[in-house]
Amino acid sequence: MTGIVQRKSDHIDIVLNEDVSMSTPTGFGGYRFVHQALPEIAFDDVTTDTEFLGHALGAPLLISSMTGGNEEAGKINRNLAEAAAQLRIPMAVGSQRVLIERPDALESFRAAREAASGVPLFGNIGAVQLNKGVTADDIQRTIDLLGADGIFLHLNPLQEIVQAGGDTDFSGLLDKIELLVDRLDCPVLIKEVGCGVDPALAARLAEVGVAAVDVSGAGGTSWASIEARRATDEGQRRLGEVFSDWGIPTVECLTGARAAAPELPLIASGGVKTGLDVAKAVTLGADLAGFAMPLLKPASISAEAVVEHLEQILYELRAAMFLTGADSLASLKANRHRLLP
């Protein structure tokens, strides 16, 4: 395997077999809904239909970026994509940087596009690659190869400094992101990878025209821990361990970003585990809630296992809506006064 493909394989193995979750609380546990003993609606009438960037969806869920670039990743992506199509929710693939370096790796990504028929599929590449010679034309080419409906640029400065040979020049990227927004023929979305987006950055990203931001706060998977386990250098291994819980909790990111950029579409991810978490995220201002690590094990088994996991999430979401008297997501947001800190 080439270096980048081996790294992708290592990441899958570590997440599936080791505990790399943060101990940092997401913040969802600090909120509770006011129970409605007489909700005045029928549970069967509760709907999770929504819209995101012009796409009609069956639920406010996103299958977040995970992997790509090898045969195992292709299987995982296909299972995730089949589940996305069945539930009418969007999906994002793992980093497509490997496609720029190895176009033969396309098959592991194409599996997702073929299976995710009729639902939005988003590409993904590290924003720091804009400082490593990757051009707008390169990114447009990966979008076209995938048939993507948009592209996530991920921000991962902590992961890069822990990773051996990581790319750590993040200077001048906001201006490059603004130029990319103007150059590409599809929406540009921004995501962190588990350390969070602060309100000031959310506001600046909205000003440069990004289509949406995934705040990806602390409380979920620790990429510092993952890279620490891969490290052969003792200094990098220790750095990853010291910073394993680094970041802004997800709820703090979400509420701060919503206040700083009221009109910006937001995705809440980072330790979102249950449908009740999703209900709280939506009430606090999220348009979608993203899931990654909880879906990796089911996705390594079958599409049916992914659907089963997500259907349970949706059952819990609808239950939370029913118990707060909300028969739609719009009603859930309107009932913001029923979510108390």
Per-residue pLDDT band for 111 (boundaries 50, 70, 90) equals confident
Q: What is the pLDDT of residues 120-177, one digit of tens each?
A: 999 999 999 999 999 999 999 999 989 999 999 999 999 999 999 999 999 999 999 9
Q: How confident is the model at residue 4, as a pLDDT?
A: 63
Residue with more model confidence, 114 or 281: 281
Q: Where are the alpha helices (DSSP H) in 185-274?
A: 199-207, 223-230, 234-242, 250-260
- 271 to each of 181, 215, 274, 306, how far by Cα in Å? 29, 12, 9, 17
Tell me how long the chain is.
Answer: 341
The answer to whether 221 touches 183, Cβ cutoff 8 Å, is no
For residue 115, what are its two tokens? 């299976």
Query: What percent of the chain clears pLDDT 90, i.e. is strictly above it?
Result: 84
Q: How confident is the model at residue 117, as a pLDDT?
A: 86
Residue 330: partners with Cβ closer than 8 Å, 6 or more residues away: none
For residue 1, pLDDT beyond 90 = no
Nearest-10 Cα torsion for 98, 102, 108, 110? 100
For residue 336, pLDDT beyond 60 = yes
Q: How confident is the model at residue 11, as a pLDDT?
A: 84
Residue with more model confidence, 319 or 98: 319
Bridge partners of 21, per DSSP, are 221
CA 80, CA 112: separation in Å to the nearest integer? 8
The answer to whether 152 touches 212, Cβ cutoff 8 Å, is no
For residue 62, what are its two tokens? 């996103």
CA 76, CA 96: separation in Å to the nearest integer? 15
Q: What is the pLDDT of residues 278-332, one digit of tens each?
A: 999 999 999 999 999 999 999 999 999 999 999 999 999 999 999 999 999 999 9
Q: How confident is the model at residue 8, as a pLDDT?
A: 65
For residue 112, pLDDT beyond 90 = no
The rounded mean pLDDT for the chain is: 94
CA 200, CA 187: separation in Å to the nearest integer? 21
Amino acid letter, residue 159? Q
Q: Give the architecture (CATH level 2) of 3-340.
A: Alpha-Beta Barrel (3.20)
- Would strands 212-214 and 288-291 be described as parallel, antiparallel, or unpaired? unpaired
